[in-house]
Structure 1
């Protein structure tokens, strides 16, 4: 039965559902141990569940088994080691073992942008679901957490029907994730909502049992935890709609920054003023070099592509402009650099030859080592392409940055990056950069020029220290 309206997932009667394995609580398997699957696996083990993480990447599984998180996320490695030691958490590369273990299988594999278009590549989902279904020997619930185009859950049902024995009665549900890198542990343990797309009461009951730890924690802390139980299509659309809205909000304030720059306004004061309106709010109104990462850019493109396939492309035409605004912020830093350095601009763009530029930040946001579609790293590459001698430093993202942009020069410390620089560009708002002493840095550079690509610095302090300051959308 498909729910036609939101109904409470936290129904006390559902607590008594018996997992197919016969275990007291459902055993949870997380297929795909990237950022999403690893974080969920570790945090659900922390809530007392028996958890198994699966991946085809042997090296990644070995590192996790040894207690090493293969990416940077504050607080996660401590939880990993604690739950490995407690025996609640294991990792493997064996799909048959995973199928035998799990009552609820969460699909957490990547859905990157297709190489031949804007749509999402679902080949990883197809491979893991088909493989899992072939190995199942009892009833189970397969739950999608990956961000996917609407209609994917029904397709996954078809894959399960094709590869799993019909007598097992394997079911599918969809429950999107809403993790913020840098805050992911809190987002799993204390989510701001749970969304569940289900087709039966049994699926609802199993999802309740799988989330009981989260719901119990909320009850213990007397914290409201909204739960929306809905159909497949709505559950799939929730995540992409949320990302589209957030991307639009970021690009909106960056469009206002473009207007402020020609009108003489200050976008930071503008954002503060409109953010006081409760209908607008101040979150995601930070003008700068734009958004990046492994979610927002590819998700808004895949959303447009899927809407076009469904005949609703006109409805999401605005997302194309959202994407264009975001890309323009990167070239705006190049233009500001040329202005500050008084460099010539030819038909091919600014010529920054002979200049040394320090780029502070390589990740798409602080408290992460993720450089996927990072504006900071893209800007560094643009500056280097224009002829500048670029030195990049990031507190956590250096290894990934080197792999993504091997031709750039990387400095071991912030002071090494800025030493003898003609221009400093702050492009990721790490606390180390926000709290840097402008007087101390001023003794290291050749010229005191700075571009605040995140509007995260105090202009007055830097100007008083003798720096020529440029913000994004600020006079």
Structure 2
């Protein structure tokens, strides 16, 4: 069945969801207040890098299933199914999430709903938000109790967002159990193609749906920081964290995914979401339950400092006057997202200690320049590494993993590589005469000379 859908917010989440809902055959209207972003999307240009999304966008614009507008009135008249996909950034000076944009959607949309409608929240919000917004929407809407609000959290991985939307590993829907509306019925219509694939459809109360997203992110962050804590122990004891991770990863209860030691996680989700989770737990009087997340956050930030220390050591004890090449700026490969990027954070710290730092990333250069305009930027790996005393690999792009150390060795001043993601072939680099150091690997095992 074809639904008429409005998606509020055309950032990473909203634009992806709008295009993919059109790909499922629905008529979709994307809504945003940013005229520049809307103009790009209307012309078939995605304002960020996400593999495969441009093709989906163009296909559905051409088919007439996807349009964009800044008018809430047009959206209310057009659709009876509304998705909230706006950002929930961290509040300045606080751990808590800023719900300004989510609240604004309800405050602007609800007064325009004169007919029955269902609102699905997809933004990551603190537990308890959906219940409050549901009451607010019904209070403001002329249609009153004929407006239902449910929470349908997203589980997108940057670089795989199209696949994760069209073929997710589960669909979670939180509803008000005491006052059930039409949300479950409508969700089954919207996601009928997905459910035909026998993708699990999990219906919960509102609070549980909100917690599914935040607790999933907290668990992933904890797993990453656990292996980075083990990396610290490995460095101190002379062990190898990559072999350790392989060995414990064979245990089905643990698994190998997200056990890659390095400079830690970043991006627009994990860091701010675990901090907001801690803040909300405190508001609920359950702060002791999540105190471990403070150490998860501390470990994550400490790995960045450790990489700066290794760079200083590799430069002879001082970065003053050193020439350092940083390969990678995005917080992860297959993305141009530099929000809370460990790579750029490390590059900035190294520059502050007196080094001349040149950065190259296959996709994130424009975003990097806006965030760190004082760094030097190159248009290729070889240009970035020309005359470098130390090369840092900080984002595990395929082109960096497959670098030829013999070729790179012809342009650098010092053949020293620091592998911030443990993604390089150690033997290949050592055989080519490079001094190699990876996080969580003892210096005696990692350095040639």
Residue 178 of structure 1: aligned partner = 155
Residue 356 of structure 1: aligned partner = 323
Q: Could you tell me whether the CA contact under 8 Å between 1:107 and 1:143 is conserved in 2?
A: yes
404-413 vs 317-326, greater mean Cα deviation: 404-413
Alignment of 1:90-101 (within 5 A): 90-101=67-78
CA deviation string 1:60-108 (max 9, x = no partner): 0011000000000011101111100000000111110011111210000
In the alignment, the residues of structure 1 paired with residue 395 and residue 226 of structure 2 have an alpha-carbon distance, to the nearest angstrom, of 20
RMSD, aligned CA: 0.9
Q: Could you tell me whether the CA contact under 8 Å between 1:137 and 1:168 is conserved in 2?
A: no
Alignment of 1:217-256 (within 5 A): 218=197, 224-256=198-230
2:266 to 269, 278, 292: 292
The DSSP-based 3-state class of the residue aligned with 2:119 is strand
In structure 1, the gaps of 5 or more residues are: 1-23, 219-223, 344-350
Give 1:201 deviation, angstroms.
5.0
In the alignment, the residues of structure 2 paired with residue 61 and residue 94 of structure 1 have an alpha-carbon distance, to the nearest angstrom, of 11
Residue 325 of structure 1: aligned partner = 299
The DSSP-based 3-state class of the residue aligned with 1:69 is coil
Matched, 1:338 2:338: no
Matched, 1:269 2:243: yes
In the alignment, the residues of structure 2 paired with residue 275 and residue 173 of structure 1 have an alpha-carbon distance, to the nearest angstrom, of 37
In the alignment, the residues of structure 1 paired with residue 410 and residue 392 of structure 2 have an alpha-carbon distance, to the nearest angstrom, of 16
Residue 160 of structure 1: aligned partner = 137
CA deviation string 1:301-331 (max 9, x = no partner): 0000000000000000000000000000000
Q: Could you tell me whether the CA contact under 8 Å between 1:359 and 1:392 is conserved in 2?
A: yes
Residue 140 of structure 1: aligned partner = 117
2:18 to 25, 41, 63: 41
The DSSP-based 3-state class of the residue aligned with 1:30 is strand
In the alignment, the residues of structure 1 paired with residue 49 and residue 230 of structure 2 have an alpha-carbon distance, to the nearest angstrom, of 33
For these two proteins, the number of residue pairs brought into alignment is 439
Residue 440 of structure 1: aligned partner = 407
In the alignment, the residues of structure 2 paired with residue 183 and residue 167 of structure 1 have an alpha-carbon distance, to the nearest angstrom, of 38
Residue 447 of structure 2: aligned partner = none
Residue 455 of structure 1: aligned partner = 422
In the alignment, the residues of structure 2 paired with residue 133 and residue 201 of structure 1 have an alpha-carbon distance, to the nearest angstrom, of 16
The DSSP-based 3-state class of the residue aligned with 1:110 is coil
Matched, 1:391 2:358: yes
Give 1:167 deviation, angstroms.
4.3
Residue 172 of structure 2: aligned partner = 195
Distance 1:279 1:68, change over 3 A: same
In the alignment, the residues of structure 1 paired with residue 313 and residue 419 of structure 2 have an alpha-carbon distance, to the nearest angstrom, of 14
Give 1:202 deviation, angstroms.
1.8
In the alignment, the residues of structure 2 paired with residue 237 and residue 131 of structure 1 have an alpha-carbon distance, to the nearest angstrom, of 26
Q: Could you tell me whether the CA contact under 8 Å between 2:116 and 2:143 is conserved in 1?
A: no
Q: Could you tell me whether the CA contact under 8 Å between 1:96 and 1:136 is conserved in 2?
A: no
CA deviation string 1:133-191 (max 9, x = no partner): 11122110011000000000011112213321254611100010000000111101100
Residue 41 of structure 2: aligned partner = 64
CA deviation string 1:238-259 (max 9, x = no partner): 0000000000000000000000
Q: Could you tell me whether the CA contact under 8 Å between 2:249 and 2:255 is conserved in 1?
A: yes
In the alignment, the residues of structure 2 paired with residue 84 and residue 361 of structure 1 have an alpha-carbon distance, to the nearest angstrom, of 33
Structure 1 runs of 4+ with >3 Å offset:
none
Q: Could you tell me whether the CA contact under 8 Å between 2:113 and 2:143 is conserved in 1?
A: no
Residue 193 of structure 2: aligned partner = 213
In the alignment, the residues of structure 1 paired with residue 263 and residue 93 of structure 2 have an alpha-carbon distance, to the nearest angstrom, of 27
Q: Could you tell me whether the CA contact under 8 Å between 2:174 and 2:209 is conserved in 1?
A: yes
1:78 to 48, 55, 67: 55
In the alignment, the residues of structure 2 paired with residue 188 and residue 380 of structure 1 have an alpha-carbon distance, to the nearest angstrom, of 33
Q: Could you tell me whether the CA contact under 8 Å between 1:138 and 1:168 is conserved in 2?
A: no
The DSSP-based 3-state class of the residue aligned with 1:287 is coil
Q: Compute the TM-score of the two structures, normalised by the length of structure 1.
A: 0.91
In the alignment, the residues of structure 1 paired with residue 102 and residue 308 of structure 2 have an alpha-carbon distance, to the nearest angstrom, of 39
Matched, 1:312 2:286: yes
Give 1:213 deviation, angstroms.
2.5
